[in-house]
Chain A
């Protein structure tokens, strides 16, 4: 077992990528590790001709993944857009892993991301000592990806200031990055492309300029359609975490996952699953990703403090933490939900009791 806390996609799924590569005879775009079809298979899962089972990484519409992969195969950049927790970064990581075999070329966008983080920086000691030279240049992941013909990921593109965002325009249209200080430029090798993620619910984001927007193909990742789909996602992700985290607890019963997912969906949509009762919506997004972490959290609680079996009281704290983001408003929402919906469900008595104790 590796001592690394979280392995990169290309490490964790190395075997799958290798098997896919072995039987993948089609034409590959330059510097791609797999053909576009194989990349889609890697993302949505499937059975290979030799019987090898590829696990699905993205559960949802195959069409969306096809658009994403086809975009990368042209020279357009890909913008994954959606609510927080709809697997944007997850998809981008796996795309980079499958296409370039390397998901580590990453720039995290923040309000403080500067142009140096995207283009290049300087090693000032060297710059002062030797004057401007290529050796004094500090490459960013973007520049390295251009040189190596790999995919670079830019996380939370819209959090980056508008002036900094626009430095991407030259990179995306000219596929080159000039270094005027040295009078040279870096031209992108084939295979280079950008995957950006952005979420549409945040406050204080910087809308993309239309010049930049035009260089991206947008794929909006939706919240899961059905409760079955969402349960499937939670179950798979929880299982994989269990392996990584070596949790001592038993894998959770499907029933327990169903309850979590139901609570999340109901609060997110503002109506009960049967569509009969309207409920207030809390301020948080309550994404699938949060449901996953609630179950993981519960498993850890059960493993270390309980009897190893996932029970309602192990989950309660996690659920409340996910729901109540605003201590005043959300608390009212949660209490109402507890009293009007959870209490009335006979088989949910334990959840109700566990949650009551904590409020």
Chain B
């Protein structure tokens, strides 16, 4: 039996393992990893399973409880499995099965929780449990996947002794970059033996269990008469497997472990995720560099620097061959200065920084993203057992030609084309399922038939897919049932209306009518007009744009009709006896409804709305701001006689009215229309006449409230109003002053323009 101690994801270790196995010719290979996944090892070696990939182990009942075991091409484990598959010898995982470890953690967390509660009752300090449970969750999330990973890494003691700043770097130089690998595994074993004696971890029960299980698997292999066994495990475990304790002790330890049901599958992984610190314990910082090391172990930096130069040239930066030569030379002399046998990534980066980037860090970030991490995505064959929902998603992805990519990719979909429409529907459906693969971005082109999407595949999406698999076996089925469930469990009308907005572009006819009925029911039951008024603009949007997608909008229209009726009945009463903040909120929402109704050009709606406004305008109980608002919009619609209008305006602004009230009225009256005031001659005349007829005393009194109203207008608006007053005699404002674009003003217009284009402004 040979035990090969490795570092997970170490390219040097991978090379050593590969060479060693080829020489040793074992008859069975045991690899540190979850035995639950033994069944799916048969796919390794098939050409369409391309690393980086990961084994996803999850609990079918609770898929969010999941673990990933990622493999890259340069992972020693991957090379070991690959060797076994190629030479047709058995290969087995030997770590503690996930079904046990997850069950243990589950028990521990539950126990910690109950303990925590008990302790709270007793008014004791709950700190120790908190720490423990934090540890427990950390352990669940991250199986340590690198050099032994402890609060104080014992390896760093050795590294310090050798004069290195950290353990990783030391290991790299000592074991990974070494080209001469004679007796390297004995050396690793002895080193670890020393370390384990110097820093024993007596009380780590999980560690003990894992090692006991590893020994168990080894014993089983021996019992099956395998004589030439190769064991590949993290360096730290080597001594524990060399010096086997009595079988009875291990059996004792492993007796009666709790179990949960586990399923395993291959999922594509990305280098970006491989470099993540949090996802599964210690990540590796530079997968791209490791891949380079794996493919070109003898590279002295020249090939790497050429890659960097090619990258820069691709970004239109002129890098000459002389630059590359100088950079390699600087890296070499840095390595010499640090007494390293050859330059590592640190030296190469520093040389790049100084020679190619002229000391600028920004360019170095480019190297980091493109080469050091190097975003690469793996591939998984179709026939790997997968949850049905994932199979369906992959099928649709293939049919619609929407490949999974590690980098983001932009699509502009033309909804008039069939394929693009289907893509849009599919992406919308995934959004509803909270599988956030695509993100809707703003299309630069005009027109409502274009949609811009940015899609980027992340490995965690696999978990989301498994998670949502409980809702159905196809995307359509899952979306519908998930949506209906969300709809049922939601108590907020606004939220459900939001769901309806999602359903329409996803073209789920069944679910849509359910949601619509649900809204109608909720609207009937609610007493809160304020919630209803928020829903109307959303529904109006759907009605306006529904026909782009050839959806049946009649249903929504009838829903909207009933909603408008309800609002028009309820709103006048809702405007009475409200405080200023609520009044402002209602005014804002009413303004939106006003816009929607104006855009829909639906005669009955306009009539109803005017009647509603009429009631508000002359109701003395209603909040002054809303009264002002109502009067103003009746005036715009031409539904108020001029005489009545003047009287209302003057009476509302008269001296007897308390200033705050008058001010609020005026604010409502002029709400959001500084520009309109300038352009609408009637409006202007009215306000202007009123101001000019005030005598000085009254004017001074009213000044603060006028100021308050005009203060909300933007600066250029105010300036123009001032100009208009000044040049009133000439009748026309000076237009010559307005040549350059005023950014502030342009920005205020964006919201309206966006709404015109069909995007919601909030």
A interface residue numbers (CB < 8 A to B):
36-37, 40, 63, 66-67, 69-71, 73-74, 76, 81, 210, 213-214, 217-220
Contacts and interface: CB of A to CB of B under 8 A. Distances in A.
Interface of B: 318, 320, 322-323, 326, 329-330, 333-334, 336-339, 350-351, 353-355, 357-360
Given A73-B336, A218-B357, 12 more contacts: A37-B339, A67-B353, A69-B337, A70-B337, A71-B330, A71-B333, A74-B326, A76-B329, A76-B355, A214-B320, A214-B323, A217-B330
B359 A219 contact: yes
Contacts of B337: 36-37, 40, 66, 69-70, 73
A70 B359 contact: no
B163 to A, nearest CB: 12
Contacts of A40: 337
B346 to A, nearest CB: 8
A173 B339 CA distance: 28
23 contacts: A36-B336, A67-B351, A67-B353, A67-B354, A70-B333, A70-B337, A71-B333, A71-B354, A73-B333, A74-B329, A74-B330, A74-B333, A76-B329, A76-B355, A81-B359, A214-B320, A217-B326, A217-B330, A217-B354, A218-B358, A218-B359, A219-B354, A219-B359
A21 to B, nearest CB: 17
A69 B333 CA distance: 9
Give the 10 A-B CB pairs with smallest separation, nearest first. Answer: A220-B359, A218-B359, A70-B333, A70-B334, A217-B354, A218-B358, A36-B337, A73-B333, A74-B329, A70-B337
B470 to A, nearest CB: 46
A70 B327 CA distance: 11
Nearest to A200: B359
B330 to A, nearest CB: 6
B737 to A, nearest CB: 29
A71 B339 CA distance: 16
Given A70-B337, A74-B330, A63 B350 contact: yes
A285 B330 CA distance: 32
A69 B322 CA distance: 20
A201 to B, nearest CB: 15
Nearest to A40: B337
Contacts of A63: 350
Contacts of B326: 74, 76, 217
Nearest to B335: A70
Given A37-B337, A40-B337, A67 B350 contact: yes
A257 B339 CA distance: 39
Contacts of B338: 66
A63 B361 CA distance: 14
Contacts of B330: 67, 70-71, 74, 76, 217
Contacts of A214: 320, 322-323
Given A66-B338, A70-B337, A81-B359, A218 B329 contact: no
B320 A218 contact: no
Contacts of B322: 214
Contacts of A218: 354-355, 357-359
A217 B328 CA distance: 12
A237 to B, nearest CB: 25
Contacts of B355: 76, 217-218
A81 to B, nearest CB: 6
Contacts of A69: 337
A102 B350 CA distance: 28
Nearest to A218: B359
